[in-house]
Amino acid sequence: MSTIIGIAPYLIFGIYKKMTDENDQGIAGTKNQHGVGRPPHSPNESTRNMVTNATGMGLDQNTISALLDVTPKTLRKFYRYELDTGAAKANLSVAKSLYGRATGGKDTIASIFWLKARAGWVDTVRNVHEGLPENITVTFALEPPKVKHEVIDITPEKQKDNAD
């Protein structure tokens, strides 16, 4: 398969070599007994678990098929059930974990999240206005300034003489 993918998906599932063993009908990519195409794919428990987990983690079909070294069409043909149920199984696993934490009584955040997501709880802020008061009294406690201001004449002398 000519698809280029990073090494990270291989490390996630502990797969770096081809998923075929010596008893298979050859190495993926070689010609079959008729001299054409790839050998037929035979799914096993390991590849089924890998497809279920990869689907649950959100990997797309092209990436999963590259991990198995099969075409996307072959992936859909042999792993339809795993592709259809992988995300639901992952959601169930996370929900069970969250439920355990929320009902254990020690994780308040999980309990609040559960109640908001499942029991319809919402954060609300209620502002209750009972009407305006009849009288509003405002008082100021300011003292008058203690500095006395003086007026300074800055008019030039020539203009004072002409003004007379």
pLDDT tens digit sequence for 48-102 = 999 999 999 999 999 999 999 999 999 999 999 999 999 999 999 988 998 898 8
Report if residue 76 sits inside a domain: yes
| Domain coverage including residue 74 | 8-118
Question: Using alpha carbons only, how large is the chain's radius of gyration in Å?
Answer: 39
Q: What pLDDT score does 32 carry?
A: 58
Residue 131 maps to a domain: no
Whether 129 is covered by a domain: the verdict is no
Q: What pLDDT does 119 receive?
A: 85
pLDDT at 117 over 80: yes
Average pLDDT over residues 115-122: 86
B/e letters for 33-56, b = 16+ CB within 10 Å, e = fewer, are eeeeebbebebeeebeebbbbbbb
In-domain check, residue 99 = yes
Least confident of 32-41, 70-79, 100-109, 114-123: 32-41
Q: Does residue 86 belong to any structural domain of this protein?
A: yes
Q: Is residue 53 one of the residues assigned to a domain?
A: yes
Answer with the residue of higher pLDDT: 15 or 126. 126
- Total count of domains within the chain: 1
- Asked if residue 40 is part of any domain, the answer here is yes
pLDDT of residue 81: 97
Chain-centre distance for alpha carbon 120: 22
Residue 26 has pLDDT above 80, yes or no: no
Asked if residue 124 is part of any domain, the answer here is no
Report d(CA 81, CA 69) in Å as an integer. Answer: 19
pLDDT at 19: 44
Average pLDDT for residues 29-53, to the nearest whole number? 82
Residues near 68 by beta carbon (within 8 Å), at least 6 away in sequence: 19, 41, 47, 50, 51, 75
